[in-house]
A and B are shown apart, each in its own frame.
Chain A
């Protein structure tokens, strides 16, 4: 390894610039290798696949089909239905999560007794694997043995008993509620961290000037929180739009496609019907649409901020 002090004069023991660079790359490369193989390569491959007729069971003659997949996709009502369901789901979950999360973060920021316990409990849904969350809520919604229907019966509202996940009109709202439940802790924690970053002195100054709670929120808290709000709502939106496990367990997209999220649809196309090329095209289109939506949102938010 390195020579000892007695053998080498001090000056040459300082590693040269090139040596440093080589050492830096040596440390970095092992981490970059799987990344290039498993995220950069698939990215390019996915773009390519979208223009082919690749299918399950057909390994050799994959044909380049140009825009065929995309033409088919544009006319595929099931795709647009899934996209619409995905939008409703992602908007509803993100917005409600944000509203509820802001309220909860505000409360957890108050000097209440047992606050540490409340903070811990508020994190619990986050600790559960999405599949387990799905299973748990399936048990809550169970038409016969479920807690929800029983609760309605207990308070004399037998008429409200319902097959929540099986009914066309209630399936999506029921699933959205679960989505909010599962994501609330994360949104709350981020907003809580944001609230703690709001300078206390500003609040006190505003209070001295006689500003009420609402005015203080609008004039002090909200502007300071804005960057956090933009970050968490856009991330939440992407995560929600791409979610899979939760709804897969709850309804698997049913009844009648009412809860068929884009990821569920892509999964079915690829791994049930084996339409790899088509599913890849679907992924590409979805990404373009999300990026476009986010660009519009971020531009508007940033303009407001300036």
Chain B
């Protein structure tokens, strides 16, 4: 008897766990489902007072509009340029620096590592206005390059932190073997270390890409010309003038803006769940 009672307690516990988990997933997923639903609705369905979850006449028109509308297509391209350049530059600067941090102990490397930690804690309110003024004096406001520089500085600490972990994983013997074979130290870095770091470089550049792709504040403040605006800024401008019929393209555009990050997360979710990257990514 006792046995079946503990069994039923166990079943009850399991059921309660699944139920709670279900509630969580509804809370986390439902707004997204609603966004998806709106993105497939016709304009005239949007003005009906009692909206339904399943679109009555599903249409791809909103996606076409979002894509063909001058603003969004151009902004997507802008975002792509800025985010790719930021990611490339971040990795290019972080790779030698991370290598230097691990293989050579100098005072500068200690200071750098300290700064990397502090920068994760630092409230960026303090930097916004002076940074804006410095970039303006350098003639870099309203240029993509200025924005890219900001993003590179932003993602460098994390990139360094991550890459130095990967460098530590490379056996020293491999480098020594190469240098005995007559390779210069730069050649060792390029031919031996860099290829072995490939997974780390991919992950780092993706992180730099995503944070630049998502960033809003500096894009809003630095780029005044609409033809330079990145996707988040243009989408936000859209919200300001939302007629109810414009909700469809807005939803479609928002979903398209999420796509790169979703793919990224799908690919890296196992690693993320293991917590190896957790804690260092700003939300």
Contacts and interface: CB of A to CB of B under 8 A. Distances in A.
B241 interface: no
Given A127-B261, A140-B31, A193-B278, A287 B51 contact: no
Interface stretch (A70-78, A114-122, A201-209, A216-224): A114-122
A284 B129 CA distance: 11
Contacts of A271: 221
A46 B254 contact: no
B34 A123 contact: no
Interface string B187-213: 101000000000000000000000001
A139 B38 contact: yes
Nearest to A136: B35
A120 B29 CA distance: 11
B97 A119 contact: no
B64 to A, nearest CB: 19
B228 interface: no
A248 B125 contact: no
A283 B110 CA distance: 29
A60 B17 CA distance: 65
Interface in B93-120: 93-94, 96-97, 99-101, 103-104, 106, 108-109, 112, 115, 119-120
B12 interface: no
B272 interface: yes
A49 interface: yes
Contacts of A131: 214, 216, 232-233, 235-236, 257
A130 B233 CA distance: 11
A2 interface: yes
Contacts of B124: 242
Given A42-B130, A127-B265, A145 B94 contact: no
A195 to B, nearest CB: 10
B49 A144 contact: yes
A129 B101 contact: no
A229 interface: no
B123 A241 contact: yes
B221 A136 contact: no
Given A15-B185, A189-B275, A42 B134 contact: yes
Interface string B145-164: 00001101100100010000
B28 A112 contact: no
A55 to B, nearest CB: 11
B173 interface: no
A297 interface: no
A175 interface: no
B266 interface: yes
B183 A46 contact: no
A124 B131 contact: no
Contacts of A231: 279
A63 to B, nearest CB: 16
B126 interface: yes
A107 interface: yes
22 contacts: A30-B97, A32-B112, A35-B115, A38-B134, A39-B153, A107-B21, A108-B21, A120-B265, A122-B25, A127-B261, A131-B233, A135-B235, A135-B239, A139-B251, A140-B31, A145-B51, A147-B34, A245-B216, A267-B217, A280-B129, A286-B126, A287-B126
Interface of A: 1-2, 4-5, 15, 20-21, 23-25, 27-28, 30-32, 34-35, 37-39, 41-43, 45-46, 49, 54, 100, 103-104, 107-108, 110, 112, 118-132, 134-140, 142, 144-147, 150, 153, 181-186, 189-190, 192-194, 196, 231-232, 235, 238-239, 241-242, 244-245, 248-249, 262-263, 266-267, 270-271, 276, 279-280, 283-284, 286-287, 290
Given A132-B254, A136-B34, A286-B126, 15 more contacts: A27-B97, A28-B97, A34-B93, A45-B130, A118-B25, A124-B32, A128-B261, A129-B261, A135-B239, A135-B251, A147-B34, A147-B53, A186-B281, A241-B123, A245-B216
